[in-house]
Amino acid sequence: MSTVARFHIEHVRLIDAEGEALAPLPAFARDPAALVPLYRAMYLTRTFDAKAIALQRTGKLGTFASALGQEAVGVGVAAAMRAEDVLLPSYREHAAQLVRGVKIEESLRYWGGDERGCDFSGPRSDFPNCVPIATQVCHAAGAAYAFKLRGEARVAVCFMGDGATSKGDFYEGMNFAAVWKAPMVLVVSNNQWAISLPRSAQSATATLAQKAIAAGIDGIQVDGNDVVAVHHIAREAIERARSGGGPTLIEALTYRLGDHTTADDASRYRDPALVQEQWALEPVARLRKHLLHLGAWSKAQEEALAHECAETVNAAVEAYLATPAPDTAAMFDYLYATLPVALQGQRASALRFAPHNGGDHDQSS
C-alpha cells in the first residue's frame, strides 16, 4: 500500500486578541497609517449594523441580518479587491459592500423591501445580496469563467456562511471553477452557526478549508477576527486568481455575536457564557488595541470617529426614510416580456390597493 496524496491546512493569525503582533507583519501592515482605513471601515459597519437593528425594532426596516462580530472578514477581503473585480455576497456582507462603495441608504432600501436598493450607484457590476444558500457560488463560477474567456484581469469574490459549504451548489461551483482555473475566490465566514445549527452538527470535517482539497484547489484557514490576517490572505488569493493560478477557498473563523436575523432569538439555543467569551476576541477592539500599542490611535480620534460615523449613518437613514415608495407595477412590469395571464390579475389587484401608484394603474380592474 502506498500513499497517493497528503494535505494539510494552514491557520493564519497575525495579531492576537490583545492587539499584539504574533510575528513580523506583512509589508502593508508595517505602516500603521495603512491599517486605520480598515479600522474606520469596521467601525462604520458596526455603527450601521446597530442602527439597522434599531430601525427594524421600530418598524422602519424589514428583517435584518446583523454582521456583528464579523466585520473583519468583509472589510479585510473587500479592501483587497480592485474596483473592476466583482463581489457576490450572501445576505450578511454589509462590511464588504460598504468598502466596495455601496451607499448605506441603498443597503437600507434593500432591507426595507425596496429592490432599488440593489441598483448600486457605486460598484455597478457587483451582484445583489443572495438569500438562497450557496447559489451565488455557481453565479461566481460563471462570472469568473466569463472573465477568463474574455481575457479580463478580473476576479469574482464569493462570500458565504459555514452552512453553505454543506450545499451542492457550493461543491458544483467550486469544482467547475477549479477545473477551468477560473479567477474566483471563495470566502467562507465560519461564524459557527447556520441559524440555530452549530458548526459541529454541520460537517464532520476538521476544517471547512479542507473541502477545497477535493476540488483540487488551495484551501486555507484564517482568524476571521484578525483583519490584518484576513486582508493579507485575501490579497494573496485574489492576485493568484488574477494571474491565472485558479481559485482559493478561504475559511475565516469568526463568531456571530448577534442573532441570525432580527427574526431569530439566539438565546433559545446558545450558551450566553460562550457568547461572552467570544466578545473578548471580536475584531474591532482587537485592531483598536493594536493601533493604540503603536501609538497610531488616540481617545480623541476614537471620539471623532464615533461622531463621524453616527452622522454618516443618520444622514443615510434620513435619505432612506425620505425615499418615495416604488411604483407598485414595477414588480410585474420588468419580470416578463409579456406578463402571463395569471399575473395580470395579480397586477390589477396590487394596483387597486396600492397607496402610491403614480396614477398609471387601472382602478376599474
- The alpha helices in 112-256, defined as continuous H runs, are 135-150, 168-179, 211-215, 227-242
Length of the chain in terms of residues written: 365
User: CB atoms < 10 A from the CB of 143, how many?
Assistant: 23
Please indicate whether residue 269 is annotated as part of the active site.
yes
Asked if residues 252 and 34 have their Cβ atoms less than 8 Å apart, the reply is: no
- Catalytic residue of the set 13, 154, 231, 256: 256
- What is the distance between the alpha carbons of residues 221 and 335, in angstroms, rounded to a whole number? 41
Angle between helices 299-321 and 32-57 (to 10 degrees): 40
Helix (H, G, I), strand (E, B) or coil at 194: strand
- Catalytic residue of the set 30, 57, 116, 269: 269
- The alpha helices in the chain, defined as continuous H runs, are 32-57, 71-78, 94-100, 104-111, 135-150, 168-179, 211-215, 227-242, 272-279, 283-294, 299-321, 330-333, 341-353
Query: What is the DSSP secondary structure assignment for residue 208, as one 8-state letter?
Result: S
Grid cell 473578548 in the structure block, residue: 280
- What is the distance between the alpha carbons of residues 191 and 207, in angstroms, rounded to a whole number? 13
- What is the distance between the alpha carbons of residues 164 and 68, in angstroms, rounded to a whole number? 19
| Residue 143 in grid coordinates | 462570472
Please indicate whether residue 336 is annotated as part of the active site.
no
- Catalytic residue of the set 13, 260, 290, 347: 260
Catalytic residue numbers?
256, 260, 269
